[in-house]
Amino acid sequence: MLPDHSVIEGKYLHDILGQPQALEDTLQGLERPPDLEKLTARLNENKYQRVVLTGMGSSYHALHPLNLELIGRGFTSIMVETSELVHYRDRFLDPDTLVIAVSQSGRSAEVVRLLEINRGRSSVIAVTNTPESPLAAQADAAIVTKAGREFSVSCKTYLTALMALEWLGDELTERDTGRTRQELKEAAPAVESYLHAWEGWVEEFSEKLKDIRHLFLVGRGASLAAVGTGALVVKEADHFHAEGMSSAAFRHGPFEMLSGETLVVVFSGDGRTRDLNLRLLQDIREQGGRAEVVSDDTAFLAFRLPEAPACIRPILEILPVQMITLALAARAGREPGRFERATKVTTTE
């Protein structure tokens, strides 16, 4: 039986379908803040010993591609959840550290505490969707996304944060940002092309998820952004348990959970580990498990990504997971994304 779309055609779906416009608005608004050039110069003159990337939830997961970019360019980059940074790793907060803090609201409990503890110890670059927030006001430089208001579960804000961080990475590493901007222009049309068929994808996923009780999202490298965020949004939007982890970690224990009630979504990722990810897919199937791959050439069309530059892949990878959240909600007959216990902004530690 096809899912009832009427139950999912609410504010959350409206936000998902609004993602192409949010990406266009964000790209148009990306400009170098006056103080960013100074921080970039200090970074490339080795005045900072480390770069600490911090955030919570999807804001934290969105940092994976930038972390790899900085490490690949020779910088010492460390990802730390803000809650851990302020309570257990605050020794990082000194003049030798450049902090890049991502927060959609710019006023979550952990970010407010970070600002209180730091107080000029480390230089801070903010990436936020709220220009009037404490984070934007107190940072040394602020990159503001243009996602607009969002109902609940992060979708527009997550995609625009990924775009802003891709642009920021090239700014910090003094790469050709003109070329980056040209490539990022392809993000909105690619997202639009996938979302155009959203009703069909929901129907396909509704059938694929029949009898599924356990959902795993696995990948490597930059795909860890979609893996982490994807598991988070499934739980938030649907009250359905999902777990995100690296493809390698899945073999260390969770492999024992393979059954007809478990679906493993494998993100093929880039060429460095694509063969390893596809081998995992094959091994799961050979053991009688259920698995599908997210790639640009998969036979299951709902998981097929539009062709686009490599820097856009993290933006595209989350789209099938968003369709999964809609399908799960349709199957359950509940509105996706409506919080019953949590709030959009977490103000309590």
SS3 217: strand
Output the CA angle 171-174-178, nearest 5 degrees. Answer: 65
Q: Is the pLDDT of residue 4 over 80?
A: no
Q: Is the pLDDT of residue 2 over 60?
A: no
Percent of the chain with pLDDT over 90: 92
- Residue/partner pairs of 250-258 with CB below 8 Å, 24 or more apart: 250/216, 250/218, 250/280, 251/280, 254/216, 255/284, 255/287, 257/214, 257/216, 258/284, 258/287, 258/288, 258/289, 258/290
Instruction: Please tell me the distance from the alpha carbon of residue 105 to that of residue 134, in angstroms, as a whole number.
Output: 9
Rounded to the nearest integer, the mean pLDDT of the chain is 96
How do the domains of the chain map onto residue ranges?
5-15+189-332, 19-184
In tens, the pLDDT along 171-230 reads: 999 988 888 999 999 999 999 999 999 999 999 999 999 999 999 999 999 999 999 999
Q: Is the pLDDT of residue 1 over 80?
A: no
Instruction: Please tell me the distance from the alpha carbon of residue 207 to that of residue 205, in angstroms, as a whole number.
Output: 5
Average pLDDT over residues 256-271: 97
Type and span of the H or E element at 4: none
Answering whether pTM is above 0.85, one says: yes
Q: Is the pLDDT of residue 246 over 80?
A: yes
**What pLDDT score was predicted for residue 338?**
87
50, β-bridge pairs: 97
Instruction: Please tell me the distance from the alpha carbon of residue 140 to that of residue 24, in angstroms, as a whole number.
Output: 26
Contact 63, 99 (CB under 8 A): no
CATH class of the region 19-184:
alpha beta
Q: What is the signed CA dihedral for 205, 207, 208, 209, rounded to 10 degrees?
A: 90
Q: Write down the CATH number for the domain with range 5-15+189-332.
A: 3.40.50.10490
Domains 5-15+189-332 and 19-184 alike in fold: yes
SS3 51: strand
In tens, the pLDDT along 282-321 reads: 999 999 999 999 999 999 999 999 999 999 999 999 999 9
Average pLDDT over residues 43-63: 98
